[in-house]
Every structure is written in structure tokens, then in C-alpha cells.
Amino acid sequence: AELTAALDTNKLNQEQLNSSMARIAKLKTKLPQSSASLAIANSTLGNPSHRRLEAALALAAITEVKNDGVLPLRDNAQVVHLIMPDRQKCFALEQALQTYSKNSLTLSCTSLQAYDPDIAHDAIKQADVIIAAHASPPQSAVEIGGMDDVKKLREHGVARNVQPEALKALLQYGQKLGKKQLFISLRAPYEISTFGPLSNAVLASYAYNVDVNRDKKVTGPAYTALAKVILGIAKAEGSLPVTVNH
């Protein structure tokens, strides 16, 4: 309708429009006419060799910024409390740690999307080790994924711009109790200068994405790599691309 109106009011020239349409039609004839192959897509997406390469790259990226006697987790570190940006990432790291740990771990998690401070404080008190992670810049709503409990979001929801301060307060609480604390930077590592001084050990993964499969299992190559480093199965051999205080 707008195009017709523009022609009627002489905002557009009919000859120029015809010439443009002819040029587009000519270009379309040069495009390949083959349709996408479902078989090729199925054999390419999630290809085992691609998955292995993805896992290798994720592990090679893990960087140990500092470690004051926290890593790898010792046998007496059986109660571990996680503090993660959202529920999906709670599940991803929990499942990775349970999968690769030779010892029985008791895991709990605080999602920074929504949590009761009293419950979080109690979990920190009970834990042998605190593992906290954050992703900066903040994620979009699509990236977060919507696994957090709706009731908790209503009652204890934490705005994205407030979550760094919430994490800082929880780490300060753990530090006050003398807890061993590991901080993981999941994205840009500049935040290490804020959370590193509150932690005994710091890792950087530069990746935070998760996959949810048909069985509702939440995984991600970065979390598998982190679990292997945390448990001493693999070494962190990455290096920081920037200089940060910790």
C-alpha cells in the first residue's frame, strides 16, 4: 500500500521501480536452486567430531587466574554450594560435577535470578566450598532460558543490574565465615577485579551457553570443562587475554 501511494504521489519513479524489479529478478535467476537437505543437516548438527572439537576448545580455554589451596577439590570438600546466574547454569554445573566426581558430592545452588537470602546464607554456612559464577555483560532473557521458579521470581526476583551486588554480598558473607571460595568468570573477565579479592581461587571460561536435550538434561562444553578442572581431571591451560587485578 505504501509503495502504491508513493507511486501515485510521484515520490517514486515508475521507470526506476521497473528497472529495480528487473535487476532483482535477474539476480534471482543466478542463485542456486537446490533446497536444503534434511539428511545433511542431521549429519552435520551435533556431529560427534564437531562435539569433540567443541569440548577440546572449551577445555583449552579454561584459565586459572589464581588458586590458594582450593583446586582441585579435596576429598573432604563433600558439601558444595553453587551460586550461579540462573537455574539453567545451576543444573549444568551440578550435573557436570556429579558426572565426573569420583566422590559423592552434596550439591545445592542459589540462582541469582531469584533467591531467599536466609536460605542462601544457610546453604553457605553448611558448605565446605562455595563455587560462584557470573557472566558479564549481562545475558538477555532468551539466553537465561526461563528455568527459574515463577513463585521465587515473584517473591525474591533480583533485577539484572542488581545481581552483581547480590553476588558480592553473598561472597562477602562466605568470606566472613572463612569459607573456601572459587569464583568463575563465565564471559568477559573484567569482573574478576570485583569478585577475585573475595575468592581463594578464580577460573575463567569465556563461555556460558547451555544445551537442554530431550531428556531435560542441561549441559554445555564450558561446564564439562570447568568440572574437569575443578575436580583435578584436567589442567587449566588457558591464559587471560587482558590484565585484571584479582
Q: Does some domain include residue 156?
A: yes
Q: Does some domain include residue 239?
A: no
Q: What is the 3-state secondary structure (H, E, C) of 165-216?
A: HHHHHHHHHHHHCCCEEEEEECCCHHHHHHHHHHCCEEEECCCCCCEECCCC
Q: Does some domain include residue 237?
A: no
Question: Residue 12: which domain range?
Answer: 1-33
Q: Does some domain include residue 120?
A: yes
Q: Does some domain include residue 243?
A: no
Tell me, yes or no, whether 76 and 135 share the same domain: yes
Tell me, yes or no, whether 107 and 16 share the same domain: no
Mean pLDDT, the chain, whole residue set: 87
Tell me, yes or no, whether 112 and 28 share the same domain: no
- Give 38-74 pLDDT, tens digit per residue: 777 777 777 888 889 999 999 999 999 999 999 999 9
- Give 117-131 pLDDT, tens digit per residue: 999 999 999 999 999
Tell me, yes or no, whether 68 and 153 share the same domain: yes
Q: What percentage of the chain reaches a pLDDT higher than 90?
A: 59
Tell me, yes or no, whether 217 and 135 share the same domain: yes
pLDDT for residue 35: 66
Of 182, 197, 187, 204, the C-alpha closest to 65 is 204
* pLDDT band at residue 102 under the 50/70/90 scheme: very high
The pLDDT of 149-156, averaged and rounded, is 51
Tell me, yes or no, whether 72 and 26 share the same domain: no
Tell me, yes or no, whether 7 and 84 share the same domain: no
Q: Does some domain include residue 90?
A: yes
Question: Residue 172 belongs to a domain with what CATH number?
Answer: 3.40.50.1700
Tell me, yes or no, whether 133 and 220 share the same domain: yes
Count of the separate structural domains present in the chain: 2
CA 206: distance to chain centroid?
A: 9
Q: Would the pLDDT of 170 be above 90?
A: yes
Q: How far apart are CA 121 and CA 126, in angstroms?
A: 9
The pLDDT of 153-166, averaged and rounded, is 71
Q: Does some domain include residue 43?
A: no
Tell me, yes or no, whether 158 and 214 share the same domain: yes
Q: Does some domain include residue 135?
A: yes
Tell me, yes or no, whether 68 and 170 share the same domain: yes
pLDDT for residue 157: 58
Tell me, yes or no, whether 15 and 128 share the same domain: no
Tell me, yes or no, whether 173 and 79 share the same domain: yes
The pLDDT of 207-233, averaged and rounded, is 88
Q: Is the pTM of this model over 0.85?
A: no
Q: Would the pLDDT of 178 be above 70?
A: yes
